Copies of this chain bind each other. A is one copy, B any other.
Amino acid sequence: MTEQIEKRRPRVVIVGAGFGGVKVAQLLDGAAVDVTVVDRNNFHLFQPLLYQLSTSEIDENEIAYPIRAFFRNSRNVNFFMATAEDFDPYRKLLKTDRGDVPYDYLVLAVGATTNFFGMESIAKNAFGMKTLQESIAIRNHVLRMCEMASACDDEEERRKMLTFVCVGGGPTGVECAGALSELIYGVIAHEYHNIDISEAKVVLIEAIDRLLAMMPRDLSEETARVLRDVRKVDVRLNTACKDYDGEYLTFKEGEPLPTRTVIWAAGVKAVSLMTRLGVERDRSERVKVTPTLQVGDFPEIFAIGDCACFIPGEGERPLPTVAPVATQQAVVCAENIKKLVAGNQNLTSFAYKDMGSMATICRGHAVVAMGSIKMSGFLAWVAWLFVHLLRLDGGYTNMTVLYKWFWNFLFGLRLGRVITDTEMKD
Partner-B contacts on A (CB < 8 A): 40-43, 59-61, 64-66, 68-69, 71-72, 75, 77-83, 97-98, 132-133, 136, 143-144, 147, 150-151, 190-194, 394-397, 399-400, 403-404, 407, 413, 415-422, 424, 426
Contact = CB atoms under 8 A, between A and B. Distances in A.
A407 B418 contact: no
A69 B400 contact: no
B98 A418 contact: no
Given A42-B143, A81-B147, A61 B416 contact: yes
A230 B192 CA distance: 49
A405 to B, nearest CB: 12
27 contacts: A40-B422, A41-B419, A42-B143, A42-B147, A43-B417, A59-B61, A60-B60, A60-B420, A61-B415, A65-B415, A66-B415, A72-B190, A75-B193, A77-B193, A78-B150, A78-B193, A79-B147, A81-B144, A81-B147, A82-B151, A98-B424, A98-B426, A132-B418, A136-B420, A395-B413, A396-B415, A399-B403
Given A400-B403, A403-B396, A418 B193 contact: no
Contacts of A417: 42-43, 66, 68-69
A420 B132 contact: yes
A60 B53 CA distance: 13
A407 to B, nearest CB: 5
A94 to B, nearest CB: 14
Copies in the complex: 2
Nearest to A419: B42
Contacts of A65: 415, 418
B78 A194 contact: yes
B42 A80 contact: no
A403 B65 CA distance: 17
Nearest to A143: B42
By Cβ-Cβ distance, the 10 closest A-B pairs, closest first, are A68-B191, A66-B417, A81-B147, A64-B418, A59-B59, A43-B418, A59-B61, A42-B419, A61-B416, A72-B191
Contacts of A81: 144, 147, 151, 419, 424
Given A83-B424, A395-B413, 7 more contacts: A41-B419, A42-B147, A78-B193, A81-B424, A82-B151, A132-B418, A133-B421
